């Protein structure tokens, strides 16, 4: 039985990467539309002042501990949290095992051309992978029926949605039943990294739990978002006392 640890009002699953992949497999086998979220510190902090996001995360079928901040928070609260399961890494693990299991992917989101580049990269890395559709993430409400019909008719097993937080979670929650895709995952900047547009932090920085600092350095427009971290630490500390 996987424990769920409540961090700032959001229940996060205390899973390892292996368990997260197993859970996704179960959800695909079950066949009902389900949702997976990757909770990093910023998302958990956003959920404290976005009740809709909090409700959606608590209704998700799997919430993985994305980022050192989430793992730290659980442990600080005296709970078990085996390891970090970053959204990007989860996508790579799923893509790795997908050909053997005949799982099909649909990539929705990011700027025009990026999901196609991510598709090419996946096909290069994971031999035999089936990516049955792509669609960029810049659209008007009037385009949604066509996007929904494109995703639905792809009959993918896994839908990856990269629209940023909380847009991707809200969009998925609204449409997942209509889409009829077994597993949908909000994956943030994953396609940008796969396409080579945005770099992932070097391994030593990831290990030193400094990935957030690397991202802020690379995209200065994100630097303001760094303030989320001390706020997150402060709020988690208050939750404890």
Interacting residue ranges for ligand UDP, rule: CB under 6 A: 109-111, 137-138, 162-165, 167, 188-189, 191-192
Containing H/E element for 52? helix 51-59
DSSP three-state, residue 22: helix
CB of 189 to ligand UDP, least distance (A): 3
Nearer to ligand UDP, 77 or 139 (CB): 139
Nearer to ligand UDP, 78 or 141 (CB): 141
DSSP three-state, residue 67: coil
* Cβ neighbours of residue 7 closer than 8 Å, sequence gap 6 or more: 39, 44, 70, 73, 74, 77, 236, 239
Cis preceding-peptide flag for 166 (omega within 30 of 0): yes
Nearer to ligand UDP, 138 or 234 (CB): 138
Phi, psi of 133 (to 5 degrees): 180, 155
CB of 78 to ligand UDP, least distance (A): 28
Residue least distant from ligand UDP (Cβ): 137
Nearer to ligand UDP, 111 or 201 (CB): 111
Nearer to ligand UDP, 34 or 134 (CB): 134
Nearer to ligand UDP, 34 or 40 (CB): 40
Q: What is the largest CA-CA distance in the chain?
A: 51
CB of 240 to ligand UDP, least distance (A): 26
Question: Which residues are bridge partners to 7 per DSSP?
Answer: 10
CB of 208 to ligand UDP, least distance (A): 20
Pick from 63, 39, 58: nearest CA to 165? 39
Cis preceding-peptide flag for 137 (omega within 30 of 0): no
CB of 163 to ligand UDP, least distance (A): 4
CB of 159 to ligand UDP, least distance (A): 14
DSSP three-state, residue 10: strand
């Amino acid at each position: 039985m996987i424990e769920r640890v409540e961090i700032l009002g959001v229940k996060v699953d205390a899973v390892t990467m292996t368990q997260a992949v197993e859970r996704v497999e179960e959800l695909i086998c079950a066949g009902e539309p389900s949702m997976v979220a990757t909770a990093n510190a910023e998302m958990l902090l956003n959920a404290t002042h976005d009740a809709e996001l909090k409700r959606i995360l608590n209704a998700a079928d799997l919430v993985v501990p994305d980022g050192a901040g989430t793992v730290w928070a659980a442990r600080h609260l005296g709970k078990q949290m085996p390891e970090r399961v970053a959204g990007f890494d989860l996508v790579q693990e799923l893509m790795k095992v997908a050909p053997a299991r005949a799982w099909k992917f649909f990539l929705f989101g990011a700027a025009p051309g990026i999901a196609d580049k991510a598709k090419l990269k996946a096909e290069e890395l994971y031999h035999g992978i089936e990516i049955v559709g792509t669609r960029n993430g810049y659209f008007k409400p009037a385009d949604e029926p066509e996007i929904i019909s494109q995703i639905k008719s792809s009959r993918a097993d896994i839908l990856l949605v990269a629209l940023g937080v909380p847009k991707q979670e809200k969009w998925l929650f609204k449409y997942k039943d209509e889409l009829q895709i077994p597993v949908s995952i909000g994956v943030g900047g994953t396609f940008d990294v796969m396409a080579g547009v945005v770099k992932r932090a070097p391994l030593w920085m990831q290990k030193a739990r400094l990935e957030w600092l690397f991202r802020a350095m690379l995209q200065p427009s994100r630097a303001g978002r760094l303030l989320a971290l001390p706020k997150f630490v402060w709020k988690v500390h208050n939750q404890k006392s």
